[in-house]
Structures are given as structure tokens and as C-alpha cells.
Amino acid sequence: MRTFLALVAYFIPIIALAHEVTVAVASNFTAPMKVIAQAFENDTGYKTKLAFGATGQLYAQIRNGAPFQVFLAADEKAPAQLVTGGIAVVHSQFTYATGRLVLWSKTPGMINETAEVLKRGGFNKIAIANPKLAPYGAAAMEVIEEMGLVSLLTPRLVEGSNIGQTLQFVSSGNAQLGFVALSQVFDNGRIKGGSGWIVPSGMHKPIRQNAVLLKAGQQNPAAEALMNYLRSSKAQAAIQSFGYDALPPK
């Protein structure tokens, strides 16, 4: 009997872990992932443990041994590097969402559909995510360069460590406007509050956000289930409701 109880005590934590998946999630995907995680639990019984941050920061944590099992990045590069480095499972990488960038201000009428305010001025600070760590920050710099406004805007730039902090800068008024993820300010098919300009997708490289199964989750059925669930019509409908582009047909 003692041996049996000891075995039960040993296996209970393992069983519990098999019903949970730890997920590193790019900051821009915070709101949709919370919705998806709840639906995933309701539909499958598996739980998720989520950690949010800049793609570059999460990538570094994973490389340094952070115990994540699935990585939802804001780009294609970081997951591919993890595969090459032997940390992620070969052929598990796929695009789960394509992001859109928006110039946003909490002030109604400040930004019109041509983003004339960027040339006209009338603001002290404009926020972007760190372009070295966050793909949305890199896209923002591409837009600024495309518009020929680097010299004009560089003195006014403030950088968030990730796109979540960038939104906080604008929401708090520390920056009068900023380039953020459309998903952060999108609700029921429109920009919620303030004013904004949805950046034409041709003004920057596509923000293809890729998921990858990490080797730490290779034997976890919850991790495999989440990877499949992200491609389901239910998850994709939730993703698109937050302003992401539809995935290309298979």
C-alpha cells in the first residue's frame, strides 16, 4: 500500500503537467490569446499558462532555458532560429496571424486617414516599440522611412520595450501618438476610442506571426493540442476579430 501511494504521489504532478501548456506570447497578441486560451480550455480541458513580452526578449529567455513549450512570436525569424538551434521542433512552425500596424492617439480627431499629423506636427512625442526587439517597432521604422520622415521624427521618438509598453505610453499621454498593433485598439470592426490611421500593409514588410512547438513541449499532449487549435476555424475567427489579416488559404 505504501508503495502504491508513493507511486500515486509521484505521478500526480506529471499528470497535472500533461494537462497544462506553458506558452510564450508576443505582447501584441495578448488580448486574442486570452480569448483563445479560455475557449481552448472549454473545448479541450487543457489549461494554458501564458507569459507575454517582446518577441526578442522571449526568444532570449527560451535560448537561456526558460521552460516554455509553445512560442507565439510576432515574426518568422525568431521561431526559425529556434528550429535551427535545435530548441524547437522541425516542421512545427506555421503562421497563426498576420499583424496590422496602426498610428493611434487617444485624442479624437488628432489623426486622419492620411496621417497628415506626422508631417504637420503638433505633438511632442511619438511612441514605437523597440525596433531591435519588437517586429511592430521594426515595421514602424519602415513606415517612417517610407514616408521620408526619419530626420523629422527621430528627435521625438520614445521606445517601449515591447508593444504593450508602447500602448501604455500613448494611453497615459506620455506620448501624444504612437505606432501600435491594430489588435490593441480594435473592437467590433473599428478602432475603439481616440483616432487612428491603419497603415497600408504595403508600406512595411508583412508582419507574419509564427508559432512553433518547442522541444520542451514535444511530449506534452496539451502543447500539441494548442498548436492544432490555433489553426482551427474558431481560433482564426477570434484572431481576425482583433484586426489581424486572414491567413492565406492552404
The total of structural domains in the chain comes to 2
Q: What is the pLDDT of residues 24-50, one digit of tens each?
A: 999 899 999 999 999 999 999 999 999
Residue 157, φ and ψ in degrees, nearest 5: -75, 135
Average pLDDT over residues 45-68: 96
Whole-structure pTM over 0.85, yes or no? no
DSSP letter assigned to residue 245? B
Radius of gyration of the chain from its Cα atoms, rounded to whole angstroms: 20
Q: What is the pLDDT of residues 113-137, one digit of tens each?
A: 889 999 998 899 999 999 988 889 9
Residues 44 and 115 in one domain: no
Question: Does residue 30 belong to any structural domain of this protein?
Answer: yes
Residues 87 and 114 in one domain: no
pLDDT at 6 over 50: no
Q: How far is CA 91 from CA 11, 21, 122, 214, in A?
A: 31, 19, 49, 11
Domain of residue 160: give its range.
101-198
Question: Does residue 145 belong to any structural domain of this protein?
Answer: yes
Spatial CB neighbours of 64, under 8 Å, sequence gap ≥ 6: none
Q: What is the pLDDT of residues 170-181, one digit of tens each?
A: 999 999 999 999
Q: How far is CA 174 from CA 46, 56, 118, 149, 184, in A?
A: 40, 24, 17, 21, 18
CATH of residue 52's domain is 3.40.190.10
Q: Calculate the average pLDDT of the chain.
A: 90
Residues 192 and 108 in one domain: yes
Residues 106 and 127 in one domain: yes
